[in-house]
Amino acid sequence: MEDKPITPSPNLPNSNAAPEEDKSLMHIWGGVPLQGQVNISGAKNSALVIMAGALLCPDDCRIQNVPSLVDVNRMGQILSALGVKVERKGDALHMNARHLHHSKAPYELVSQLRASFFVIGPLLARLGVARVPLPGGCAIGARPVDLHVRGLQAMGADVHIDHGTVHASVKGTNRRLQGARIYLDYPSVGATETLMMAATLADGETTIENAAQEPEVVDLANFCRAMGARIRGAGTNTIIISGVPRLHSTDYSIIPDRIEAGTFLVAGAITRSDLSLFPVVPDHLTAVIAKLRAIGLHITAETPNRLRITPGEHHIATDIETLPYPGFPTDMQAQFMALLTLSEGDSVITETVFENRLRHVAELNRMGADIRVKGNHAIIRGVPRLSGAPVVATDLRASAALVLAALAAEGKTTIQGLHHLDRGYEDLGGKLLKLGAKLQRVDDPEADAPVIQTVAPGQV
Ligand code: EPZ
């Protein structure tokens, strides 16, 4: 009997489920066009750093439009371990860091969330001391933090690494960081954010040159300014921060997630559907929209914060090179690779940001794609069709690419390793079901979980 789609678990997956314990599966039956409008959640990469930024303030802060994600849960647990009050009320987090102390966050939590390293700047700025486990690498790369460390040292912090922990402290009577002129060898998003946060409470003026320009950096700057920080130039390659003695409460709402929006644009493209997305900030998607149009899709801004994608006649092979913003985002590379497997002709994708972010190639080839990897280049020869197959997700955006490929493939695909997906997408399965996708998420195949029958719109 054909499985019927069920609504995936409405509760957030267990944020502490270790990957090896992850038995969840997603079955997707491809070839079904999507339709309707999808709601885009708050930006994961804003939420995580802004949660750390709230440590700069010794009063109540409310952060709204926070997506319900495993990584956000984990960050909340880490901040609580540092003495911060974190309470979720709907899509808002109520935080208070008055009783912040620098005891090291539990390693077992930090090791599962690289973004936990963001606490080092605020801890140093608030307390003059910080002990933060060194974030490990991950599937996509070594993810060093040398640019963060060198910048903090330039601001007067004594930083050394001992037994996998970064020990940082500020000497001097008032134990305050000093403003400095910092040049980043690479426009690192994380290093820009760490140093910008640290500089908000430093003595004097800090200039960050060759700074990252991502929208999430601007979102963090706007959040800090809402707390009284003095920051100019966020969104350009030079950010100037004038330190102030103290920051105050604020109520702030996070920008929509441009990578989730880009992922749904590709979902519409690969299934040749007519989809609308809301809310979005089209300016945050300039490179993504330009590439979709080059491939042959039609994208229109129905209102200032609503985008619509409709299919074109042919999907044309297109080359892509990932670059720091405003270049093409590395976080959209895997998703576009899935789309280009079905485009006419040969496309070349060059990944310049991370050294190991082509691991989805093998799984896409198992679905009938024709992709060859040479160094940091993937040569994608378009094929007429993909075929469903059992596949395994290797990292967050790779898992999204497999979902997209499955939506277009002939037959059934089963994806393992959904813990990757749950880190960065709020209920992706549920949102796709609402658009008419034919899928079933099974969180624990062994359990005799009741099968909740629902019928997605357009399916009788
Ligand atoms: C942020 O990671 C994002 N994560 C990533 O999103 C995103 O891919 C990346 O920026 C680039 O846009 C969050 O914001 C939580 P980087 P981050 O520092 O800050 C090297 C996703 O899928 N580097 O800009 O770690 C580094 O090795 C995730 O949502 C150093 O050499 O990125 C990499 O090659 C994945 N030394 C390059 O810079 C440093 O001290 C870009 O890294 C720091 C970085």
Write out the two tokens for 255. Answer: 């920008």
The residue nearest atom 19 of ligand 1, judged by CA position, is: 190
Secondary structure string (H, E, C) spanning 238-283: EEEEECCCCCCCEEEECCECHHHHHHHHHHHHHCCCEEEEECCCHH
198 shares its domain with 299: no
Comparing 453 with 26, which gets the higher pLDDT?
26
Closest CA to 122 of 103, 97, 144: 97
- Band the pLDDT of 84: cuts 50, 70, 90: very high
In Å, what is the CA distance from 339 to each residue of 266, 335, 378, 386, 399? 7, 7, 13, 11, 14
CATH number of 452's domain: 3.65.10.10
pLDDT tens-digit readout, 377-404: 999 999 999 999 999 998 999 999 999 9
The residue nearest atom 34 of ligand 1, judged by CA position, is: 354
Contact between residue 109 and residue 77 where contact means Cβ atoms under 8 Å apart: yes
Q: Count other C-beta atoms under 10 Å from residue 42's C-beta.
A: 25
The residue nearest atom 28 of ligand 1, judged by CA position, is: 331
Rounded Cα–Cα distance for residues 134 and 161 (Å) = 8
Distance between start and end Cα atoms, the chain: 16
Residue 53 has what pLDDT? Answer: 98
64 shares its domain with 146: yes
pLDDT tens-digit readout, 319-354: 999 999 999 999 999 999 999 999 999 999 999 999
Alpha helices in 166-257 (DSSP H): 189-199, 215-226
- Band the pLDDT of 41: cuts 50, 70, 90: very high
Ligand 1 atom nearest to 71, measured from its CA: 15
Q: Ligand 1 mean position to 92 CA, how many Å?
A: 26
Mean pLDDT for the stretch of residues 255-284: 98
The values of phi and psi at residue 220, to 5°, are -60, -45
311 shares its domain with 434: yes
In Å, what is the CA distance from 148 to each residue of 96, 214, 379? 25, 17, 34
94 shares its domain with 177: yes
Q: Say what the pTM is.
A: 0.93
Ligand 1 atom nearest to 395, measured from its CA: 22
Helix and strand element counts for the chain (H, E) = 14, 23
pLDDT exceeding 90 applies to what percent of the chain? Answer: 82
Q: State how beta strands 85-89 and 92-96 pair.
A: antiparallel
249 shares its domain with 266: no
Q: Ligand 1 mean position to 381 CA, how many Å?
A: 29
Residue 453 has what pLDDT? Answer: 43
pLDDT tens-digit readout, 188-232: 999 999 999 999 999 999 999 999 999 999 999 999 999 999 999
228 shares its domain with 341: no
Residue 126 region, left (φ>0) first, then alpha (ψ -120 to 50), else beta? alpha
What is residue 410's three-state secondary structure?
A: strand
Beta strands in 145-215 (DSSP E): 157-162, 165-170, 181-183, 205-209
The residue to which tokens 């060194």 are assigned: 134
Residue 447 has what pLDDT? Answer: 63
176 shares its domain with 278: no
295 shares its domain with 217: no
* The dihedral sign for the CA sequence 315, 316, 322, 326: negative
Is the pLDDT at 139 greater than 80? The verdict is: no
Average pLDDT for the chain: 91
Q: Which residues constitute the domain of residue 156?
A: 44-253
Domains held by the chain: number: 2
Residues present in the chain in total: 460
Ligand 1 atom nearest to 397, measured from its CA: 22
316 shares its domain with 405: yes
Q: Which of 143, 237, 323 to mutate to test the pocket of ligand 1 (most atoms within 8 A of CB)?
A: 143
Residues in contact with ligand 1 by the CB-under-6-Å rule are: 44-45, 48, 115, 141, 143-148, 186, 188-191, 212, 214, 216, 330-331, 353-354, 396-397, 424
Write out the two tokens for 150. Answer: 């060198």
Last residue of a domain, one of 228, 253, 278: 253
Q: Is 224 a catalytic residue?
A: no
376 shares its domain with 424: yes
Contact between residue 178 and residue 202 where contact means Cβ atoms under 8 Å apart: yes
52 shares its domain with 126: yes
Last residue of a domain, one of 212, 237, 253: 253
Comparing 6 with 62, which gets the higher pLDDT?
62
The residue nearest atom 30 of ligand 1, judged by CA position, is: 144
Residue 18 has what pLDDT? Answer: 58
404 shares its domain with 442: yes
- Band the pLDDT of 8: cuts 50, 70, 90: very low
Last residue of a domain, one of 237, 253, 269: 253
Residue 310 has what pLDDT? Answer: 97
The residue nearest atom 37 of ligand 1, judged by CA position, is: 353
Rounded Cα–Cα distance for residues 26 and 396 (Å) = 15
Q: In whole angstroms, what separates CA 438 from the centre of its chain?
A: 25
Residue 19 has what pLDDT? Answer: 63
Closest CA to 269 of 220, 344, 328, 338: 338
What DSSP designation does 351 have? Answer: -
- In what side-by-side order are the strands of the sheet with 92-96? 85-89, 92-96, 60-64, 250-253
Residue 418 has what pLDDT? Answer: 93
- Band the pLDDT of 106: cuts 50, 70, 90: confident
Residue 428 has what pLDDT? Answer: 97
